[in-house]
Chains A and B, each alone.
Chain A
């Protein structure tokens, strides 16, 4: 009887271990998918920017804080183009709609955006860091051994970006067709 109980306990332990490992793997997989998702933007509007700009806080991921900051810049511009910015929680600024209203714009102009968002690409022209110091304190989180998450306040040249995308024929002009 004692032996049966021991075997039963071992089987239970094995099942539990297998389920925990698979849960962890599944969690990692989900996290990876979320990181790579084109819809995943962690953005908050900070305040009304000066004429033609938007002041937003964007969270980026990377193996080190510098790479995470670079990712935040890229996400900030992508968010301005495809999703827009939410209103500031303290009422400091209203929401900003996306520059591109066509939901298939990214697929239709894949070649353009691949060059635009390439390392050192043109997207950098529209983003400025509001501070030079690397993110610290609560704006710098070590998610795991390999990943940092940083929050960066960016000033985005929104109007300039919109005009350039309109010129390229990617964004629709407000007076298009008239």
Chain B
């Protein structure tokens, strides 16, 4: 009996030690072309040049077809274990959050919530994977057909990780709503198949992320300064590159740009999980860059600031906290 209980305890402990990778959030966003062609746009003067941007609020308030397509896609994705973030609801929540944050005050001193300009800037609808949706109902004589494009874009690497597109069969009998529903039913399996390939690759070769290393202007440190690490004297940028090579999956990364004050690492493959306090935990870019920050503090006595841009992108600003 004792051995059974201890066996069960070991199994429970083992199960507990298995981490789960961080699940990316997915959101459907109507394409710029769709919004602008249907008049859901706003134009403003940007230092002398006219700039047109999509007006998502206007699109959701006026376009029944768009709502129907997004609703259908949401249902299908939820069925596959990926409930979608709703852009319309997210925009409402952010507006409410801003209003509430400005009204809250401390009961003892009356202090307002501390909010930096960056906090305000970051208050936008975000997702890790954006499903860029575009469709158009076209006419061919008496028949109508639909041209449908769906691109799954990684918000950080800007890579197209899944896509499905094509034009449907012309029909004179089907209503635009039926054509749209058919298009969603037709293309979603292909899209999800590609998304599955992306996830399988992610688990096999690590999550692909972007890391930016910058320096604080007042710190008096450049990435070309020489440091001695365990008997090897080299530029700080080389030590950083060595550390990234040693901590990425199969040493996979590319340094796409580098100066005395900046390094841009792309296609950095980080492990999905990391051991922390004896347990496997999901790893995101912030945690990975935090380890680099610790390495610089311990070995070069350099302080640095870790700035999170999302699940797949973080910055390390060297010189100060």
Contact = CB atoms under 8 A, between A and B. Distances in A.
B190 A95 contact: yes
B164 A94 contact: yes
Contacts of A48: 182, 185-186
Given A101-B200, A175-B82, A177-B272, A91 B166 contact: yes
Interface string B162-180: 0010111100000000000
A97 interface: yes
A174 B186 contact: no
* Range, interface on chain A: 20 to 34
Contacts, number: 66
Given A90-B169, A91-B167, A94-B166, A174 B189 contact: no
Interface string A129-173: 000000000000000000000000000001100000000000011
A173 B200 contact: no
Interface stretch (B16-24, B40-48, B85-93): B16-24
Interface string A27-51: 0000000000000000000011101
A106 interface: no
A134 B197 CA distance: 40
Contacts of A88: 169
* Range, interface on chain B: 20 to 34
Mostly, the A contact residues are: loop
B190 A178 contact: no
14 contacts: A48-B186, A91-B166, A93-B186, A94-B187, A96-B189, A97-B190, A97-B196, A173-B81, A174-B199, A175-B80, A177-B20, A177-B21, A178-B23, A178-B24
B192 interface: yes
Contacts of A92: 168-169
A174 B192 contact: yes
A53 B182 CA distance: 12
Contacts of B168: 91-92
Most A CB within 10 A of own CB, among B164, B186, B195: B186
B20 A178 contact: yes
A175 B225 CA distance: 45
Interface string B275-317: 0000000000000000000000000000000000000000000
Given A48-B182, A91-B168, A159-B79, A174 B190 contact: no
B186 A94 contact: yes
